[in-house]
A and B are shown apart, each in its own frame.
Chain A
């Protein structure tokens, strides 16, 4: 898998560069595969992500709802990514760090 790694029961999403519509589609496919392999938690690592668009934010929101907020966490959001999450009032995701 290109953007999703499995770490025990956690699927770790890590997208390098722009987390945009084209990558969102691939991430969703890989996440479905991770669920089938038994993942019940999702962690998003924004360390290598330089920007995020609304389609990605929307799909991450859906993912968070699916696995329940207590099983969802995000980390390493900086600059443009942090600004986008704050603009969408979703920076609370980062409180789990």
Chain B
């Protein structure tokens, strides 16, 4: 976000960033020359304008006279801070507003009637906003700001020329009051410039009104100190009387915030007597600005605070009967257009980032392909590789042979020794077969098959038990049992698996 405070004496430029935790970081705060004349006077406001009444010769003449065009403002800002993807908020001194007041009327028609009556401006000549609605029990009161459209239109056109979209145009008083973040207290401001002076007063129960005080301009106050003292006291008395009438209730001798560049003025006794101690930024504003200079930057920083919601810390002290909104005088369609432009710019920004990221990936991919495709292998290395491939095949074959050989060994002697050792008395063999033609697990399960012969079938069970207790055997079991008809002997076929041999 960038805010510009267009003052008669200079232009303040502030760049800030609103974080997710609603902390406002000020990244740049600087001053450039004033473009006040370009804004307020009927001169060429468009640097690149080329209509038939404004030929190149005229433009050259303007340049020679060093007249600044309003579009130069935006051109110069681009050289001071980066403006890409930034929202632009403009603040104007209250003296430029044709009407700042608060009243109990409610309808737009009543408001327009009041503007027509007090300023002699037609409805289509003013832009306006209603930033405050206060209703402390009685009739609701609205505060309104009205400004001639020509000033707003000039700014929008000049910004457009530099491809900048303006998001808001606000009066300085509203931005200042917002940056004080204390809504329950009255704030009286006195903006003093060389040829303009304005008193703006805020009351939470009444609203905001302003008084132009031409007798308190810097030029007038510097003429004669004694006369200045008298004039200041007189204007303060008039102001307090008016405020009492407008606000219905107010505190006595509320101090004024004096906003001026002319430090000599601040030494005038009657002004010094009633000036407030310098304000500082609220805690959620993070800026690398000396606290004694905070007040000087509160107007441009206050413009950023339009983006805060009612539940944020900014509005912690807001009385329940007071509603605050932006004092942005831009018409709704222009505000929506600015938002749309901002979204478009952000979408463009993120698209560019995505494209850049994908481009980097593609470049890395291509670089990898090119690198690996261009690598040459020396004949010696290739020969070593081929030899290794051949050797690996031989080694694999050797390992397979060894594994097969290991499987082929059936340990007949060890098996037979144990079979005989475990054999109980009164038991003999009719046949015994050690070794299997198969391979793998099933072969190990059928390592030995023997046919035992005995007169007592229980002997077979003892034999199986004895074999099972031997570690070299596993899965010992009787698979079949018969009785020989001729002799009456019992025969049992016993199957023995391979256990832990060796």
Say whether, besides A54-B251, A55-B249, A58-B252, A21 and B204 are in contact (CB < 8 Å).
yes
A20 at the interface (CB under 8 A from B): yes
- CB B254 to nearest CB in A, in angstroms, measures 9
Out of A22, A24, A54, name the residue touching B252 (CB < 8 Å). Answer: A54
- CB B155 to nearest CB in A, in angstroms, measures 36
Say whether, besides A22-B184, A30-B137, A55 and B251 are in contact (CB < 8 Å).
yes
Q: Mark B177-208, 1 if CB is under 8 A from A, else 0.
A: 00000001110000000000000000111000
B138 at the interface (CB under 8 A from A): yes
Question: How many B residues touch A, CB cutoff 8 Å?
Answer: 17
B250 at the interface (CB under 8 A from A): yes
B136 at the interface (CB under 8 A from A): yes
Q: Mark A46-69, 1 if CB is under 8 A from B, else 0.
A: 000000011100110000000000
Say whether, besides A21-B250, A54-B251, A26 and B184 are in contact (CB < 8 Å).
no
A25 at the interface (CB under 8 A from B): yes
Q: Which residues of A are found within 8 Å of B251, using beta-carbon distances?
A: 21, 53-55, 58
Q: Which residues of A are found within 8 Å of B331, using beta-carbon distances?
A: none
- CB A91 to nearest CB in B, in angstroms, measures 18
- CB A60 to nearest CB in B, in angstroms, measures 11
Q: Mark B127-151, 1 if CB is under 8 A from A, else 0.
A: 0000000001110000000000000
B368 at the interface (CB under 8 A from A): no
Which single residue of chain A is at the shortest CB-CB distance from B206? A25
Most chain-A Cβ atoms within 10 A of its Cβ — which of B136, B138, B319, B321? B136
Q: Which residues of A are found within 8 Å of B138, using beta-carbon distances?
A: 25, 29
Q: Which residues of A are found within 8 Å of B249, using beta-carbon distances?
A: 21, 24-25, 28, 55, 58-59
A26-53 CB contacts (< 8 Å) to partner B: 26, 28-30, 53
Q: How far is the CA of A25 from the CA of B140 in the complex (A)?
A: 12
- CB A57 to nearest CB in B, in angstroms, measures 8
- CB A16 to nearest CB in B, in angstroms, measures 15
Contact A21 B137 (CB under 8 A): no
Q: Which residues of B are found within 8 Å of A21, using beta-carbon distances?
A: 184-186, 203-205, 249-251
Most chain-A Cβ atoms within 10 A of its Cβ — which of B138, B205, B248, B321? B205
Q: Which residues of B are found within 8 Å of A28, using beta-carbon distances?
A: 137, 248-249
Q: Which residues of B are found within 8 Å of A20, using beta-carbon distances?
A: 184
B241-285 CB contacts (< 8 Å) to partner A: 248-253
Contact A29 B252 (CB under 8 A): no
Q: Which residues of A are found within 8 Å of B248, using beta-carbon distances?
A: 25, 28
- CB B102 to nearest CB in A, in angstroms, measures 14
Beyond A21-B250, A26-B321, A55-B251, 7 extra complex contacts between A and B, CB < 8 Å: A21-B203, A21-B249, A22-B136, A22-B319, A25-B321, A54-B251, A58-B252
Chain B contacts to A: CB under 8 angstroms = 136-138, 184-186, 203-205, 248-253, 319, 321
A-B CB contact pairs (8 Å), 16 listed: A21-B186, A21-B204, A21-B205, A22-B204, A25-B136, A25-B205, A25-B248, A25-B249, A28-B137, A28-B249, A29-B136, A53-B251, A54-B252, A58-B250, A58-B251, A58-B252
Which 5 residue pairs spanning A and B have beta carbons closest together?
Answer: A29-B137, A25-B136, A25-B205, A54-B252, A54-B251
